[in-house]
Amino acid sequence: MHLTKCLFYLQLPKRSLLLAACAACIGGTFQYGYNISIINAPTMYVHNFINQTWRDRYQTNISEDVLTLLWSTIVSIFTLGGLIGATIGGTLSVKLGRKGTLLANNISALTAALLMGLSYPTGYFELLIIGRLLTGVNAGIGICVQPLYLGEIAPTAFRGAMGMGTSIFITGGILTGQVIGLKEILGREEYWPILLSTTCIPAFLQLLILPWFPESPRYLLIDKGDNEACKKGKVIAQSLHRELPFQNNLAGVQTKKPWELLMDRSVRWQLLTIILLNIAQQLNGINAIYFYAGYVFKRSGIPDDKIPYVTVGTGACECITALTCGVLIECLGRKVLISGGYALMSIFCILFTLTLTFQDASPVVPYLSMACVFAFILSFGLGPGGVTNILTAELFTQDSRPAAYMIAGSVNWLSFFFIGLVFPFIVIGLQQYCFLVFLAICSLVAIYIFLVVPETKNKTFLEIQTEFQSSNSRKVYNADGWFKTNETLFHQE
């Protein structure tokens, strides 16, 4: 019986639905992953460009401290742009619609590509800073609005698989950036301005493809009250039919602002959940694993000039895992994958700490460390890497969802910035024992998910909200001002 259910869940969505997801993702979270990885390959070439530009301007060589500061600014300002994008993405998705926001978002990507491409011929390295800021804005809006769009166009039975498009295209973008940055393609010094400008290609593709697909029918029905336009979005007709009474009640309801959502006592557990999961997604040790990967590969005897190719293997590993998770999510469910992923990451934190500590004990130990690198990445991609964004869509109803994505996105980008700022000091202070910090984070998150978060597989948004409030309200509240309806406790506003 269980095998039959799994086979049912493994059926693929309709082709039009898959194409709509690809059109949304190619200019959305693909850009996020691509711009994270693409900046690594031309590091030394950009250093040389800044040094040469500084010498031409001021007839003196740039100091190492100023060079490091400028390069750090070019890399890290991406996160500031992402935070800006996350804070405005939800508002834009209400004003312009989900699809409209994704299309308009390509303006920032095209502008960024133009500025970064012109930086070398014009001799202005400042254009790189502005360009990276705009790519961050593009990524922040994309990672906020794209999962919102996918979650609303997908029928309930395929919502998890569709939502995994976010993770699949992030990892696909990282892998593509790693491959394009190889010396055999665009990784040579003379090509680095072209390499950074290739962010325009996904933007052009989305502008060509996405207009052929419909706006989110839930947005059209609930936010705009446009029944006729909603009916054209046939891909989720069956899903909307199940929720129609609830959707009609929401028609014309004002979309909540982030601060209003933060003050809403009825969704405090959902908010706490997405905040914790988005913090954990950045602070769970995945960045530390990538940081140590080069060291581990070198200790395993891999030549320096071959390490970039092995690094591509880590990107491929995460991409394949995201695809696997997309296939399994409707069979195993969200809760099993994300809690299981964090549990496995906890185990590999311990093993990786041990193998790094005893690197010189045996010639075999460096290879065990390399195995831990891949195992940790696989565990991350299996659940935490993809399910986090899906839960953000599923734990909130239509009037709260844009604000929830703004809060979740802001927390995620702030955590991204924090780990980039603090991580070097953690490594210097604790060395390989830094993974004990990540062990504590992964373990606590796994326990929280197991105890608090309900399974959301194959349930409507209303059913999920009802079950979440029911299971957690009973644990905490049973006082005056609360009333019981259908065995569920709600606060009487």
> Can you give the pTM of this predicted structure?
0.81
Within a domain: residue 101?
yes
In this predicted structure, the answer to whether residue 334 has a pLDDT above a threshold of 70 is yes
Q: Are residues 284 and 371 in the same domain?
A: yes
Within a domain: residue 355?
yes
User: 485: phi > 0 → left, psi -120 to 50 → alpha, else beta; which?
Assistant: beta
pLDDT average, residue stretch 88-103: 91
In this predicted structure, the answer to whether residue 3 has a pLDDT above a threshold of 50 is no
Q: Are residues 267 and 408 in the same domain?
A: yes
Contact (Cβ atoms closer than 8 angstroms) between residue 202 and residue 31: yes
Q: Are residues 48 and 124 in the same domain?
A: yes
pLDDT average, residue stretch 464-477: 61
Within a domain: residue 457?
yes
Within a domain: residue 3?
no
Within a domain: residue 131?
yes
Within a domain: residue 429?
yes
Within a domain: residue 487?
no
Query: Which among 208, 238, 268 is the end of a domain?
Result: 238
Residue 162: C-alpha distances to residues 15, 154, 354 (Å): 12, 7, 38
Q: Are residues 340 and 476 in the same domain?
A: yes
Q: Are residues 203 and 161 in the same domain?
A: yes
Q: What CATH number is given to the structural domain containing 180?
A: 1.20.1250.20
> What is the pLDDT, as a whole number, of residue 490?
34
pLDDT average, residue stretch 340-346: 93
Q: Are residues 228 and 305 in the same domain?
A: no
pLDDT average, residue stretch 176-186: 90
Q: Are residues 94 and 227 in the same domain?
A: yes
Q: In this predicted model, what pLDDT tens digit does every residue of 304-317 receive, in sequence order?
A: 778 788 888 888 88
Within a domain: residue 46?
yes
Mean of all residue pLDDT scores within the chain: 81
Q: Are residues 205 and 269 in the same domain?
A: no
Range of the domain at 297: 260-482
Q: Are residues 265 and 232 in the same domain?
A: no
How many structural domains are present in the chain? 2
Query: Which among 191, 207, 238 is the end of a domain?
Result: 238
> What is the pLDDT, as a whole number, of residue 13?
56
Task: Using pLDDT thresholds of 50, 70 and 90, give the confidence band for residue 162.
Answer: confident
Residue bearing the bigger pLDDT, 470 or 208: 208
> What is the pLDDT, as a whole number, of residue 492?
33
Q: Are residues 186 and 117 in the same domain?
A: yes
Query: Which among 186, 208, 238 is the end of a domain?
Result: 238
Q: Are residues 195 and 47 in the same domain?
A: yes
pLDDT average, residue stretch 422-436: 79
Q: Are residues 90 and 201 in the same domain?
A: yes
